[in-house]
């Protein structure tokens, strides 16, 4: 394309002004071509860097993690209830850690989904412009809070209060960790849901009102169904965020590698275990490899969440407004 344009320039300038200009134009054509080539390869390189880094991380993660299965069989790794990596002999059963992660993720979504989706609905249907602006700013601010700060809040405020009020052995448990995780997931759920609600054609809402539907009827029969795929995506991304979150669960979940028997038991979710133990695990040892294997499990779980989110957002996407 560039080349042809360059040649075109050459011919035109040859016709109009003679040879001297022609050679200038050729140079310019070549320059353009070089410039375009360079920028193309630069961006290609930039794009491939992230791909490459991703691939290297995967290779590293799987190489270090899969090594544990040479020493511990997979069944006792995944389904073993005892996680005593520093005992002699050590036990590497991660079921309690998986249950820990799943329990805080599920319970936090029980809190975060109604609050997050409710906030989005409030913002898109009920809130006046001023209120809306403030609430949105607050939600965004919530998203920008460092997780360690939220962890502090959980440790210093939520956990002791809960311990005292309910008279339980420790406030560092599934419920308090879930509450803090929910606070973290709400901004994700709210902002993606709100986008989805906003994308529902206004025409459809008007049509509903014009048929004598109330605001509630229009919201429940037209608005929410129309935004359902986006809301589903929002929920799953929010959950995936909670699942992968490390600092909060490290600080607030209590850290006991046990299968909980109540919501007020301490747990040790997978990311907390990795973060707490990696510093002490001898390099290249079984413990070290076991922690990497936990990393693989965590990675696969969040990957599934994200794939489901993508699937939902494409599969249930409604066609836009009427097309002619």
Partner 1 sequence: MVATSDIVIEVRDLDFYYGDIKALRGVSLNIKRNQVTALIGPSGCGKSTFLRLLNRMNDLIPGTRVEGQVMFEGQNLYDEDVNPVDIRRRIGMVFQKPNPFPKSIFNNVAYGPRLTGIKDKKKLDELVVRSLKQAAIWEEVKNSLDKSALSLSGGQQQRLCIARALAMAPEVLLMDEPTSALDPIATSRIEELVEVLKKDYTVVIVTHNMQQAARVSDDTAFFYMGEMVEMGNTERLFTKPEKQQTEHYITGRFG
Q: Which residues bind partner 1 (CB under 8 A)?
A: 128-129, 201, 203-204, 206-214, 217, 221-222, 226, 318-319, 321-324
165 vs 210, which CB is nearer to partner 1? 210
Q: Please report how close the Cβ of residue 312 comes to partner 1 at its closest, in angstroms.
A: 16
Q: Please report how close the Cβ of residue 120 comes to partner 1 at its closest, in angstroms.
A: 19
Q: Please report how close the Cβ of residue 222 comes to partner 1 at its closest, in angstroms.
A: 6
Give the number of other CB atoms < 10 A from CB of residue 100: 32
C-alpha 249/C-alpha 269 separation (Å) is: 7
Q: What is the DSSP string of 136-196?
A: HHHHHHHHHS-HHHHHHHIIIIIHHHHHHHHT-S-S-SHHHHHHHHHHHHHHHHHHHHHHH
C-alpha 119/C-alpha 177 separation (Å) is: 21
CA angle 141, 142, 143 (to 5 degrees): 90
Q: Please report how close the Cβ of residue 203 comes to partner 1 at its closest, in angstroms.
A: 4
- Smallest CA-to-CA distance from 230 within 262, 265, 190 is with 190
87 vs 216, which CB is nearer to partner 1? 216
DSSP state, 255?
Answer: -
Q: Please report how close the Cβ of residue 140 comes to partner 1 at its closest, in angstroms.
A: 23
161 vs 317, which CB is nearer to partner 1? 317
Alpha-helix runs per DSSP H in 245-324 = 247-252, 270-277, 286-315
Q: Please report how close the Cβ of residue 130 comes to partner 1 at its closest, in angstroms.
A: 11
- Smallest CA-to-CA distance from 34 within 72, 7, 3 is with 3
Phi, psi (5° rounding) for residue 299?
-60, -45
Q: Please report how close the Cβ of residue 231 comes to partner 1 at its closest, in angstroms.
A: 15
10 vs 222, which CB is nearer to partner 1? 222
16 vs 322, which CB is nearer to partner 1? 322
Give the number of other CB atoms < 10 A from CB of residue 135: 15
Q: Please report how close the Cβ of residue 9 comes to partner 1 at its closest, in angstroms.
A: 45
Could you tell me which residues come within 8 angstroms of residue 270 by beta carbon, excluding any fewer than 6 positions away? Answer: 94, 97, 98, 100, 101, 294, 297, 298
91-92 and 83-84: which strand pairing? antiparallel
19 vs 320, which CB is nearer to partner 1? 320
Could you tell me which residues come within 8 angstroms of residue 24 by beta carbon, excluding any fewer than 6 positions away? Answer: 13
75 vs 210, which CB is nearer to partner 1? 210
207 vs 304, which CB is nearer to partner 1? 207
């Amino acid at each position: 394309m560039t080349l042809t344009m360059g040649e075109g320039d050459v011919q035109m300038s040859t016709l109009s002004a003679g040879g001297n200009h022609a050679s200038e134009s050729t140079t310019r054509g070549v320059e353009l071509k070089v410039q375009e080539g360079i920028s193309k390869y630069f961006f290609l390189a930039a794009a491939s860097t992230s791909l490459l880094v991703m691939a290297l991380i995967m290779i590293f993660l799987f190489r270090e993690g899969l090594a544990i299965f040479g020493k511990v069989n997979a069944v006792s790794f995944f389904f073993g209830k005892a996680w005593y990596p520093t005992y002699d002999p050590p036990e590497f059963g991660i079921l309690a850690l998986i249950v820990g992660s799943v329990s805080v993720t599920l319970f936090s979504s029980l809190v975060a989904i109604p609050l997050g989706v409710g906030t989005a609905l409030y913002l898109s249907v009920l809130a006046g412009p001023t209120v809306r602006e403030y609430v949105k700013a607050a939600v965004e601010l919530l998203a920008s809070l460092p997780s360690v700060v939220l962890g502090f809040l959980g440790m210093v405020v939520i956990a002791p209060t809960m311990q005292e009020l309910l008279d339980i052995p420790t406030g560092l448990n599934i419920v308090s960790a879930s509450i803090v995780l929910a606070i973290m997931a709400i901004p994700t759920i709210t902002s993606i849901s709100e986008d989805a609600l906003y994308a529902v054609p206004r025409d459809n809402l008007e049509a509903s009102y014009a048929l004598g539907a109330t605001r509630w009827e229009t919201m429940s029969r037209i608005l929410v169904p129309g935004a359902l795929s986006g809301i589903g995506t929002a929920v799953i991304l929010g959950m995936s965020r909670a699942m992968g979150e490390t600092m909060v669960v490290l600080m607030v979940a209590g850290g006991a590698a046990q299968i909980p028997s109540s919501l007020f038991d301490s747990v040790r979710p997978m990311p907390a275990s990795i973060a707490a133990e990696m510093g002490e695990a001898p390099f290249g040892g079984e413990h070290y490899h076991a922690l990497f294997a936990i990393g693989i499990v965590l990675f696969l779980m969040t990957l599934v969440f994200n794939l489901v989110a993508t699937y939902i957002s494409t599969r249930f996407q409604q066609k836009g407004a009427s097309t002619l």
